[in-house]
Amino acid sequence: MTVPYSSTVITGSNSTAAASTSIGQQVSRSGPVKRPILLAGIGAATISTSPIFVVLSGASAVSTAFYRSAIALPVLILLAILEQRRHGRRPAAARVRAMAAGVFLAIDLILWTHAIADVGAGVATVLGNLQVLVVVGLSWLFWRERPGRAVALALPVVTVGVVLVSGLVGKHQAAQHPLAGVGYGVAMSVAYAGYLMVLRRASSQSPHVAGPVADASAGTAIASLLIGLLLGGLTVHPLWPGIGWLIALALISQVAGWLMITSSLPRLPAAVGSLMLLLQPAASLLLAAIIIGERPTLLQVIGATLTCAGALAASLASTRQARQAAPLADPAPQTTAKASYL
């Protein structure tokens, strides 16, 4: 389902997926990054392969969420240990919060995989961009951050885009279930927004990047395992090459892709960062057409464009509003260049 990082890093980022730039904002204190726009572009292209790996693996929704986080975890732990030597230990409370964020991500990833089955890899990834508006709404509800006029104008644009991209209007591909896909898309956006907001709180004012992502990945793996044990579905059939595609998903998208994104986004203007991340759903649509033969209709392409454009407008408007408010302490989560999915 479409993070970020790893994704947002997160990303990937769909790392465990994905962490968002809310984590990446902390990287700017860790050292310079050369050619950030190139790095962000490569990272966005990398995480766009995530839904393709999900489809090729043939794994169940629960298996996908569990294996991608569990496989990425050893690499993230190693990076977190190296990071700890430089920046010191993180508070226990922050680690617990990061693991709690991972529970939201587990739900998000499971719903995303169901959405892929119902509306296709490319379309499901586009639907993940709804999390931008969900974050705005939750910030208004919990932190009394009223959305600006641009966000209000973006909402109907995104709504129309979602209806078109889902296939509810016009002809849709065989075996697609557009209504169910929209339902999964909305639910996964709520879960992903919860992940971003909780992880933001866990990593606020900290230079650590790999540490919070490793803790969140552990939470995702544990939650997915428990869901699999309680509800079933924790299998990969056939074991090979399914597990091979899941390994590629974990290492290429979640770890490599989102590490590139979170290292580069803090060095880019918000507008550029948002645009770079919105390349991911567009690239996912293209890769789904080339590799697994998905053919979105013209209306779906138009819907994807409207959805991404509306999400971008809402993100940038919220960024400007947050800067004008200039909170002094414990800022509410921002929607600056949020990642889609990994």
Query: Has residue 184 been placed in a domain?
Result: yes
For residue 7, the model assigns a pLDDT of 36
Q: Is residue 2 part of a domain?
A: no
The pLDDT value recorded for residue 147 is 64
Element (H, E) at 106: helix 92-119
Q: At what angle do helices 178-203 and 210-231 cross, to 10 degrees?
A: 140
Domains contained in the chain, number = 1
Q: Which pTM value belongs to this model?
A: 0.74
Is the residue at 171 inside a domain? yes
The residue segments making up the domain with residue 140 are: 21-325
- Residue 246: partners with Cβ closer than 8 Å, 6 or more residues away: 53, 57, 59, 63, 64, 67, 68, 71, 236
Contact 201, 99 (CB under 8 A): no
Q: What are 177-235's pLDDT values in tens digits? A: 778 888 888 898 889 888 877 877 776 667 777 888 889 899 999 999 999 999 888 88
pLDDT number for residue 325: 60
* Parts of the chain with a pLDDT under 50: 1-32, 174-175, 328-341
Q: Is residue 330 part of a domain?
A: no
The two three-digit tokens of residue 333, written as one number: 């989560």
Residue 159 within a domain: yes
In the prediction, which pLDDT does 259 show? 74
Say whether 296 sits in a helix, a strand or coil. Answer: coil
pLDDT at 48: 85
Q: Cβ of 168: how many Cβ atoms within 10 Å?
A: 16
332 located within any domain:
no
